[in-house]
Amino acid sequence: MNADLVVVGSGLFGLTVAERAANELGLKVAIIDRRHHIGGNAYSEREDRTGIEVHRYGAHLFHTSNERVWEYVNRFTEFTGYVHKVYTRHQGEVFPMPINLGTINQFFRGAYSPGEARALIQEQAGELAGTDPQNLNDKGIQLIGRPLYEAFIKHYTAKQWQTSPEELPASIITRLPVRYTYDNRYFNDKYEGLPVDGYTAWLERMAAQPNIEVHLNTDFFDDSQEFSKANVVGQVPVVYTGPVDRYFDYAEGDLSWRTIDLEEEVLEIEDFQGCSVMNYPDADVPFTRIHEFRHFHPERDYTKDATVIMREFSRFAEKGDEPYYPVNTSVDRQKLLKYRDLAAGESSVLFGGRLGTYKYLDMHMAIGAALSMFDNKIAPHFSGGNKIESGGIDA
C-alpha cells in the first residue's frame, strides 16, 4: 500500500485534511470515495442543455466569519460578491426572509417603525410568556407570536422534519431571528460569496497535488479493493468521514438522519421566480423550497432561452439513502455515546465531518474542524511521533 494516510470521503472535511497532509507534511495521501465524483454534497456541474451550473445535492452557499478559514479557501478559488437572500411564498404572496421589518409591515399591512414592530411581536409572543414550552410549536409561538409562526415556520418545519411541531422538542429552535430593520440578507457573516469557477473547480484544485491520489467509485467496506477498512485500519492512519453508524456496521443501532429528494426541471423561459431560493411554508405544498440556479451567478452569460429549477422535498432517510442532516433525538444521543466509545477503541482512526461526527456542520465549519484535526492530531503524529488517539465523536 503506497499511502501514509487514507482519507475516506472527498467532501470538504476530507479534502482539507488531505491537502494539508500532502502540502504541509509531504505525506502520500489516498482519498477514496464511493461516488463517481469528488466534493461530497458540495459537488456541482453544468446542466447539459442550458450550461447553467447546478448544485447536485441542493444549494450550497459559502459564508464565514472565521479569518483562518477564509484565508485558506481563497488559496483555491476566488469568490463572487453574491449575497444570499431568501423569499417565501405564503398564500399567494411573496415575503422576504428571514423575518424582518419588511416582512412584518407587509404581513400586518402596516408601516411600523422598528420600535413599534418590536412591541407588536412582544405583545403577540406574550400569549405563552412565563411558560416553559417543551415542544417546538409552543416555543415558536413564545418567540415570535402565533401569526408569524403559523404563517412562516410551523408548516415549513413540519415538512422539513416530517413530524408535527407539537411532537418535536423545543430545543430545535432555541431562537428565531427577527430583524427590526429592512435587512434581508440571509447570513450575518463577515465573508460571503460563491466560487467564481464553481464548486467542483475549487474542490479539484484542493486535490491537485502529486502526493494525493483520488480513488472514485471505491467503497471503504468492499474488502476486494486495496483501501478497504479490512486492509487499512491498523496499517496506516485513517480519517473517516462517512456515517459513523455504518463504520461499525450499525452495531449499536441505526442513527436517525434526514435526507432530501430533488426534482429538477428545465423550463423554456428565461426566469422562473426572480431569485435563487423561494421557500414554500404552506402545508398544501409538498416541497419545502425551489432553487433556481441561474440566480446564483448573475455575472455569467447564461442562455435566455431556458432556466433550471429544482424542487426540494425533505424526509427521513432509509437504508440506501444519502444522509444529510442528523435528527439527533434522545435515543440517537444514547446510541452516539456507545459509538463514541467504539471509536475510541479503534486503531489510529479519526472521525470527522458531518456524517462521521453526527453533527450539523456548514461548509466553513467542516473546513475549520478539519484544520483543527490536522493541527492537533495529524501533524503532531507525523512530525513529532505523537500517538494518534482514535475518535473525534462528541456526544
Q: Annotated active-site positions, please?
A: 175, 179, 258, 289, 312, 360, 362
Rounded distance, CA 72 to CA 69, Å?
Answer: 5
* Cβ atoms of residues 259 and 321 within 8 Å: yes
Is the Cα dihedral 282, 286, 292, 293 positive or negative?
positive
Query: 142, 168, 143: which is closest to 155 by C-alpha?
Result: 168
Q: How far is CA 346 from the centre of its chain?
A: 27
Sorted by sequence, the CB contacts under 8 Å of residue 46 that are 6+ apart come out as 52, 53, 54, 198
Peptide bond into 243 cis (omega under 30): no
3-state secondary structure of 333: helix
* Cβ atoms of residues 9 and 203 within 8 Å: no
3-state secondary structure of 77: coil
Contacts 24+ apart (CB under 8 A), 151-155: 151/90, 151/91, 151/107, 151/281, 152/88, 152/90, 152/95, 152/97, 152/99, 152/103, 152/281, 153/281, 154/281, 155/281, 155/282, 155/283
Q: What is the number of helices (H) and of strands (E) in the chain?
A: 14, 16
3-state secondary structure of 389: coil
Rounded distance, CA 282 to CA 327, Å?
Answer: 22
Helical packing angle, 114-125 and 136-144, nearest 10°: 140
